Amino acid sequence: MRIAIISDIHGNFQALQAVWHDIELADVAKVICLGDLINYGAQSEEVVEFIAQNEIDTIIGNHELALLFEEHLKSFGALARISMKICRASLSVHSVAFIKKLPLNIIFGNICFAHALPPDNAEKYMYMCTDKEVAESVKPNLFNLAFVGHTHDVMLYSIDYQNVVREKFPKGITKLSPYVKYIVNVGSVGQPRDANKDAKYVIYDTIENSVELKYVKYDYKKAAELIRKAGLPDYNAERLF
């Protein structure tokens, strides 16, 4: 089975549409979204509607938690809080109701899907975790592989007992070892922060035990223009370039 994993769309409907078109050509059986559908971009409502209408299995991200709970919003910086205020006003009752039902993780066979640190943390940045924390996030659990987002950067964590190797993995197909546990950070659809402005997502092949990192071009200039028209912080637009 081929599974497409997307994450961190952040209201960027242009990027989501481009990625979805690429997924449709990629012969996948399932699509899973790792959260952060909303905020920063100008079209959070359109993104949530699309995810809901296409019945994409989705987990909650820290931006959805910040939308719903004030204690999570308090951890955001000033510009992110301003963005969330505008985002909240743009969301329909139906979209908020959809967000409220999102789980903290999805377990599919021996694979865990989480927003941040497995198995179900939506807020902890993995680059701030010690090797012990990374190893223990998978060691007590039944899964051998986890997919995460949150950092907007693509990373591959290889865990062999307490030994953790952290590395960026390249565009294209990377074969995984059956004897090692992995955490795969799939990057961001709507706001990449890995020095490449293309939208990113990953396809996992359960038969080949491989991950394929996909780069997808989209109209980032239009996305930035919509951000500015919506009155969102200009910084949100600048990050797309």
Helix 78-90 to helix 44-53 angle (10° resolution) is 60
Tokens 């991200």 identify what position?
61
Across the range 150-161, mean pLDDT stands at 95
Tell me the average pLDDT of the chain.
96
Taking 90 as the threshold, does the pLDDT of residue 164 lie above it?
Answer: yes
As a whole number of angstroms, the distance between CA 215 and CA 199 comes to 6
Evaluate whether 216 touches 19 at the Cβ level (below 8 Å). Answer: yes
| Sheet strand arrangement including 181-186 | 105-108, 111-114, 145-148, 181-186, 154-160, 163-167
Q: Is the pLDDT of residue 118 over 80?
A: yes
Cβ pair 53, 31 in contact under 8 A? no
Q: Domain ranges in the chain?
A: 2-238
CATH tag, 2-238: 3.60.21.10
Find the radius of gyration of the CA atoms of the chain. Answer: 17
Name the region of 48 (left: φ>0; alpha: ψ -120 to 50; beta: rest). alpha
pLDDT of residue 128: 95
Return the structure tokens found at 32: 């899973």
Q: Name, in order, each residue with C-beta under 8 angstroms of 36's C-beta and a sequence gap of 6 or more.
A: 7, 8, 9, 10, 61, 62, 63, 64, 115, 149, 150
Task: Judge if pTM exceeds 0.85.
Answer: yes
Distance CA 117, CA 149 (A): 9
pLDDT at 142 over 90: no
> pLDDT at position 140, please?
77
23-71 confidence digits (pLDDT tens): 999 999 999 999 999 999 999 999 999 999 999 999 999 999 999 999 9
Question: Dihedral of the CA atoms 195, 23, 123, 177 (nearest 10)?
Answer: -80
